[in-house]
Chains A and B, each alone.
Chain A
Amino acid sequence: MSTADESQSAAWMTVAEAYQEAWKRDHDLAMGCRDCEELVATGLHVYGLLEECKARWCEQVFRGAISFSENRDKAFRRAHQLWVMTTQAILQEVVDDIERQFDEVKGATELRRLLPIMEAALRDWQPPRLSLAVGLRDQQLTEEGAAALDRIITSTAPLPYIPQKQPVRELSADEFKRRLKR
């Protein structure tokens, strides 16, 4: 595992483990509504963090900015699993109880909504991959290429085709399905 891999993977695991630790620590105290709300808020925050990191990583791999790493993928998946396990425990062992006795726990509805989304993401886990279309990958221009591109961009020669100014009319997908010859 590269240094970058290690630090990235360690960061994701730290965040997910901190969430799990908070749950373990507060388990006995969590019958108090306030502690429970804090746990739920942490769960929501960690979810956002994991999703953001995952999206960034997928984007970088897709664009060829970094190479795909099996180890990073495993660490990432493990962090997601930890989040699911912890969230299931919090919802089933504490939140449900409190809500039976008192009012709705703040943020719990959202956490319940996110749980199946994360479970599905784990079930259908797709490791990121490099784009097949080379045009979508990040490019490093050569000096010669950069100069040629500058000439193209700054050219004042008329373009063979002047694009239309009005918005392009597009068919809806439903209209397409209706009109498509089978």
Chain B
Amino acid sequence: MANVLEPVVFRADLLSDVQGFDYGTEPWEKELAQWMQAESIEAMVHGTKVWLYLNQTGDCVGYSSLGVAQWSYPTKKSPRMPVLVIPAVAIRTEFKGEPKGDWATDPSVDGRYSSQIMRHLLDSASQWPGPMPAVGLFVDPRNTPAIKLYERFGFAKYDPPYTDKATGIVYDRYAIRRASCW
């Protein structure tokens, strides 16, 4: 298939190759560009995996990431629960909605880059070692294309929105049951 993406495990010396990529002008898109530049390497030190995606014509179309966070239930005695999270995932502006085609809505066969990246993330999540029951993510509620994509893959909203005290930005919280293969 001509437009199959191949994931590449990111490392520090690749940062210069992806510098200056344009992910869009919306606030959440700028945030994703900033994360890649300013935090991806540090996040890897804290156990997060980051991937770049290369298409068959040699373009890097975007990146994704997968890590672990601790969530606590609201009771005092309940222990913290590790969950897999997708901290950041982004597609460069010129590759959004690509490749064009009469794609089925079934997320298992949709050939768009966004769906290929989600499948890779969920495959990687299922093979991540450890008893983590869910995969979670935070998304700007105005980012409707991303929300549609997540919902198509089965993510559901699970908690009232989260407000980042540092920036005042509000995020919707989504999660999906983790299909485990380990």
- The answer to whether B1 has its CB under 8 Å from any CB of chain A is no
CB within 8 Å for A171 and B7 given contacts A135-B85, A163-B122, A176-B54: yes
The answer to whether A161 touches B154 (Cβ under 8 A) is yes
Give the number of residues in B that approach A within 8 Å (Cβ atoms): 73
Q: Whose C-beta in chain A lies nearest to the C-beta of B127?
A: A167
The answer to whether A144 touches B154 (Cβ under 8 A) is no
Contacts of B122 in A (CB 8 A): 161, 163
Q: Can you list, as one digit per residue, whether each of A125-153 has a CB less than 8 Å from chain B (1) or not (0)?
A: 00000111111111111111110110011
The answer to whether B74 touches A141 (Cβ under 8 A) is yes
Partner of B159, one of A62, A136, A141, A176: A141
The answer to whether A160 touches B69 (Cβ under 8 A) is no
- The answer to whether A100 has its CB under 8 Å from any CB of chain B is no
Contacts of B35 in A (CB 8 A): 132-133
The answer to whether A63 touches B160 (Cβ under 8 A) is no
Q: Which range holds the interface residue count of chain A? A: 35 or more
Q: How many contacts A-B (CB < 8 Å)?
A: 170
The answer to whether B181 touches A149 (Cβ under 8 A) is no
The answer to whether B124 touches A136 (Cβ under 8 A) is no
Question: B76-103: which residues lie under 8 A (CB-CB) from chain A?
Answer: 80, 85-88
The answer to whether B152 touches A141 (Cβ under 8 A) is no
- The answer to whether A113 has its CB under 8 Å from any CB of chain B is no
Contacts of A144 in B (CB 8 A): 159-160
Contacts of A173 in B (CB 8 A): 8-11, 13-14
CB within 8 Å for A145 and B46 given contacts A138-B69, A171-B8: no
Contacts of B119 in A (CB 8 A): 161, 163-164
Mark B residues whose CB is within 8 Å of A: 6-11, 13-14, 17, 31, 34-35, 38-39, 42-43, 46, 48, 51-52, 54, 57-60, 65, 67, 69-74, 80, 85-88, 106-108, 118-120, 122-127, 133-134, 136-138, 152-154, 156-160, 162, 164, 166, 171, 173, 175-177, 179, 181
CB<8 Å pairs between A and B, sample of 29: A63-B46, A63-B69, A131-B39, A131-B43, A138-B69, A138-B80, A139-B72, A139-B162, A142-B74, A142-B160, A144-B160, A145-B158, A148-B156, A148-B158, A153-B134, A153-B177, A161-B108, A163-B125, A164-B123, A165-B126, A165-B181, A168-B7, A168-B120, A171-B7, A176-B8, A176-B17, A176-B60, A180-B58, A181-B59
